[in-house]
């Protein structure tokens, strides 16, 4: 006799709906509840803390990896390895802000999610307030001391395996490549472990098993929601912060679409 999986029985309609589509949210933690549908087990993912959100067909197979998407770089490191340490130096203490760092930060739009267009408009309004000498060890008061929630589509991601070990996720307002992209930068380390795993799990869903790719352009960009701190990556430019890409974008179809040096850094899950 095969293994028995016990759980909460579902009605035929509920089961058909569950097997037709999973509308899910990626959370820092998940509660898994088994459900038995016509003798087959499925699961419901119940949130305990929201960070990213999206949707994918439940029964669809992962898309075939198209190596024309971006440039594939092999690496022996795993992007979602939580033991990796930050290898950079530029404004390190600002990049690695803790959960406690943002406890008194202003919430952009009162905490409501904003679009990529809203983000670009907001950051362009901040350019004129950036001081000539950007502080290296603290967030710029009234400028980067903000928490923002951004809605969009994950269109590409890059693991900085040979640099500082960050993950650069490119977020667009639509799933189309030829639209402005914003960089969401996820640092390494235990405090950012959950965020890294959630981001890279979306990438891995489109990669072959045991792939060593460090760069990927999504074939089916999932919708995501990210909450994080405002950060200016001034190491890549000193003027026109909301217009220049600083050469950070992934090239695809002959273009890169990142606009601005302003980034979102996900709020870490622990104080350290």
Domain-located, residue 178: yes
Question: Looking at the structure, do residues 22 and 120 belong to the same domain, yes or no?
Answer: no
Give the tens place of pLDDT for each residue, 80-128: 999 999 887 788 889 999 999 999 999 999 999 999 999 999 999 999 9
Do 21 and 154 lie in one domain? The reply is no
Whole-number pLDDT of residue 103:
94
239 burial level (CB within 10 Å; 0-12, 13-18, 19+) = exposed
Residues 97, 225 within the same domain: yes
> Are 159 and 245 members of one domain?
yes
Confidence of residue 204 (pLDDT cuts 50, 70, 90): very high
How many helices (H) and strands (E) the chain has is answered by 4, 10
Domain tally, the chain: 2
Instruction: Based on the fold, state whether residues 21 and 130 are members of the same structural domain.
Output: no
Q: Is residue 208 part of a domain?
A: yes
Q: If you ran DSSP here, which 8-state letter would residue 237 be given?
A: -
Pair (134, 18) in one structural domain:
no
Number of other CB atoms surrounding residue 183 within 10 Å? 24
Q: Is 146 contained in some domain?
A: yes
Instruction: Give the model's pLDDT for residue 272.
Output: 54
Range of the domain at 160: 92-266
* pLDDT band at residue 237 under the 50/70/90 scheme: low
Closest CA to 95 of 239, 227, 270, 228: 228
pLDDT of 26 higher than 60: no
Please tell me whether residues 213 and 98 are part of one structural domain. Answer: yes
Q: Are residues 96 and 42 part of one domain?
A: no
The pLDDT value given to residue 14: 47
DSSP symbol at 140: P
Domain holding 202: CATH number?
A: 2.40.50
The answer to the question of residue 61 being in a domain is: no
Written as six digits, the tokens of 8 are 């909460």
Closest CA to 151 of 168, 170, 171, 180: 171
In angstroms, rounded to a whole number, what is the distance separating the alpha carbons of residues 211 and 74? 8
Whether residue 142 sits in one domain with residue 259: yes
- Whether the full predicted model's pTM is greater than 0.85, yes or no, is no
Q: How far is 165 from 158, CA to CA, in rounded Å? A: 10
pLDDT at 209 over 70: yes
For residue range 54-90, what is the model confidence (pLDDT) as tens digits?
Answer: 333 322 333 334 434 444 455 678 899 999 998 877 8
210 and 106 part of one domain? yes
What pLDDT score was predicted for residue 270?
Answer: 66
DSSP line for 66-132: -TTSS---B-SS-TT-TT------TTHHHHT--TGGGTTPEEGGGG--B-HHHHHHHHHHHGGG--S
pLDDT at 13 over 80: no
Q: Identify the band that residue 8 occupies on the pLDDT scale cut at 50, 70 and 90.
A: very low
Residue 1 belongs to a domain: no
């Amino acid at each position: 006799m095969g293994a028995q999986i016990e759980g909460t029985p579902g009605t035929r309609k509920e089961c058909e709906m569950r097997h037709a589509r999973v509308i899910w949210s990626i959370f820092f933690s998940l509660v898994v509840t088994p459900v038995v549908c016509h003798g087959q087990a499925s699961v419901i993912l119940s949130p305990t803390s929201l960070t990213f959100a999206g949707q994918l067909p439940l029964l669809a197979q992962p898309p075939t990896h198209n190596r024309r998407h971006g440039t594939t770089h092999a690496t022996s490191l795993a992007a979602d390895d939580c033991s990796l340490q930050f290898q950079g130096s530029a404004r390190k203490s600002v990049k690695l802000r803790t959960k406690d760092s943002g406890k008194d930060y202003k919430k952009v739009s009162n905490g409501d999610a904003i679009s990529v267009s809203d983000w670009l408009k907001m950051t362009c309004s901040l350019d004129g307030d950036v001081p000539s000498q950007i502080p290296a060890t603290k967030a710029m008061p009234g400028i980067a001391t903000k928490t923002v929630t951004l809605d969009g589509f994950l269109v590409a991601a890059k693991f900085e395996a040979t640099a500082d070990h960050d993950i650069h996720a490119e977020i667009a307002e639509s799933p189309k490549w030829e639209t402005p992209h914003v960089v969401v930068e996820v640092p390494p380390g235990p405090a950012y472990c959950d965020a890294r795993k959630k981001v890279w799990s979306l990438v891995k869903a489109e990669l072959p098993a045991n792939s060593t790719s460090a760069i990927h352009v999504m074939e089916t960009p999932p919708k995501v929601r990210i909450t994080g701190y405002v950060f200016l990556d001034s190491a890549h430019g000193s003027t026109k912060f909301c217009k220049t890409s600083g050469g950070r974008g992934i090239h695809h179809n002959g273009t890169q679409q990142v606009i601005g040096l302003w980034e979102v850094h996900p709020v870490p899950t622990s104080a350290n």
